[in-house]
């Protein structure tokens, strides 16, 4: 298609210059002391204990105030593996759908260069034939999960949300999928609804966006990710190694909860992430995820995207989940003390919540090493209110009143 060829030629010309423009980023400057309520560390610990009681071997939360480096709080509970190694918040893990924010940043940078029109048809930035000619969803709608594209992961899993252990062994752990094959799996289901008329979380959306990054730049997704984000931000524990299965270096062991709860947890650490690709296969650490989100929410001072692009990313549209809206690769959660932005991630064996205040001055990374367990997920989500908003005022009985729990994010399951 003519438009696609033109965009590709422009991108090749700028790939060695404009796509390498991100500078070294340091923590965003802030006031000498945090302007946010002091975190309720006891409340965070209680939430993590709930996740471990529900079946995760261990969990942790790291709360940082970036204007006050001495105010970092790390709470660890339980074990990093079933051999009894204590949980360690410095080790690497799979971040699941937090990968979507990385992919979104790459697309927004291409849009800033004029190589991608967010309101142009998604198919114009893909290899010919990837999407049917009459599919007119825009890049923006794909970023917002409002494109009407079927989620291919529903075909790979044996039940809605998260896979059974048998499906994991049969179709996920070692099977290598090509991105185009994942999209074809989705397309055969047809367009699910008129683009822009509703929200429906779809991993295929972000596989398409990763394919667009490759098609427009003429380079592999992993290479663009490394040169545009990982190296400039010095994310030394962050990688995208699909289809390799191992996590290099010191890492937490991830466990998939067995369908039969009477059976042991299944070690899912070594797995090939091709089935989720640019929608969920990044490996990172709490420190790197904090650094990435802080640089992003810091706007132009962080160097990842322009202030105008960040405004678009955080311009979130309501979803069917109460208190939750979705922007361009960023989720917005409404807490009692205000809104926070980031993403959640659930991938076999690992669950993560990574959120920050709009100015990036406080961030929270919460993690547990078990998936296929909604109660573990809710425990992690329950860390956010006390971490960001602090202890609630005491009632007549003298007991601290907890903030309202966040509604579960059903769309995160398995991603």
**Do 349 and 254 contact (CB within 8 A), yes or no?**
yes
User: How far does Cα 322 stand from its chain's mean position?
Assistant: 19
CA neighbor of 71 nearest in space, from 385, 364, 392, 382:
364
Residue 182 makes CB contacts below 8 A (sequence gap 6+) with: 152, 204, 207, 275, 277
- In the DSSP assignment, the letter for residue 350 is E
Told to judge if 284 belongs to the known catalytic residues of this protein, a careful annotator would answer no
The DSSP bridge partners found for residue 326 are 317, 331
Active-site choice (9, 15, 97, 371): 97
Question: What does the radius of gyration of the chain's CA atoms come to, in whole angstroms?
Answer: 20
**Residue 309 burial (CB count, 10 A):** 22
**Do 78 and 112 contact (CB within 8 A), yes or no?**
no
**Do 68 and 33 contact (CB within 8 A), yes or no?**
yes
**Residue 119 burial (CB count, 10 A):** 9
**Catalytic residues, which ones?**
97
């Amino acid at each position: 298609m003519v438009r696609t060829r033109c965009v590709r030629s422009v991108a090749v010309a700028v790939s060695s210059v404009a796509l390498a423009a991100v500078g070294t980023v340091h923590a965003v400057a802030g006031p000498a002391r945090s302007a946010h309520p002091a975190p309720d560390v006891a409340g965070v610990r209680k939430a993590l204990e709930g996740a471990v009681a529900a079946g995760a071997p261990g969990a942790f939360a790291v709360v940082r105030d970036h204007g006050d480096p001495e105010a970092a709080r790390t709470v660890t509970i339980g074990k990093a593996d079933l051999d009894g190694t204590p949980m360690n918040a410095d080790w690497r893990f799979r971040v699941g759908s937090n990968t979507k924010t990385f992919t979104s940043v790459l697309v927004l940078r291409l849009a800033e260069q004029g190589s991608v029109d967010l309101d142009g048809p998604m198919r114009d930035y893909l290899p010919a034939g990837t999407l049917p000619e009459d599919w007119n969803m825009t890049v923006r709608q794909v970023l917002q999960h409002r494109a009407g594209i079927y989620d291919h992961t529903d075909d790979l899993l044996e039940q809605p949300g998260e896979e059974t252990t048998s499906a994991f062994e049969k179709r996920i752990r070692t099977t290598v999928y090509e991105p185009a094959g994942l999209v074809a799996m989705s397309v055969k289901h047809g367009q699910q609804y008129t683009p822009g008329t509703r929200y429906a979380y779809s991993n295929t959306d972000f596989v398409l966006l990763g394919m667009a990054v490759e098609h427009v730049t003429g380079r592999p997704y992993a290479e663009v990710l490394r040169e545009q984000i990982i190296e400039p931000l010095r994310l030394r524990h962050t990688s995208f190694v699909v289809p390799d299965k191992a996590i290099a270096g010191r890492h937490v062991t991830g466990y998939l909860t067995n369908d039969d709860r009477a059976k042991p947890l299944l070690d899912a650490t070594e797995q090939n992430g091709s089935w989720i690709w640019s929608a969920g296969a990044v490996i990172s650490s709490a420190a790197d995820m904090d650094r990435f989100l802080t640089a992003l929410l810091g706007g132009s001072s962080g160097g990842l995207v322009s202030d105008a692009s960040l405004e678009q990313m955080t311009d979130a549209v309501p979803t069917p989940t109460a208190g939750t809206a979705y922007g361009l690769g960023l989720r917005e959660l409404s807490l009692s003390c205000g809104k926070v932005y980031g993403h959640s991630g659930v991938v076999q064996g690992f669950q993560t919540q990574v959120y920050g205040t709009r100015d990036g001055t406080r961030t929270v990374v919460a993690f547990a090493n078990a998936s296929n367990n909604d109660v573990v997920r809710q425990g992690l989500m329950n860390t956010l209110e006390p971490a960001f908003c602090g202890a609630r005022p005491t009632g007549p009985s003298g007991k601290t009143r907890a903030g309202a729990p966040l509604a579960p994010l059903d769309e995160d399951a398995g991603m």
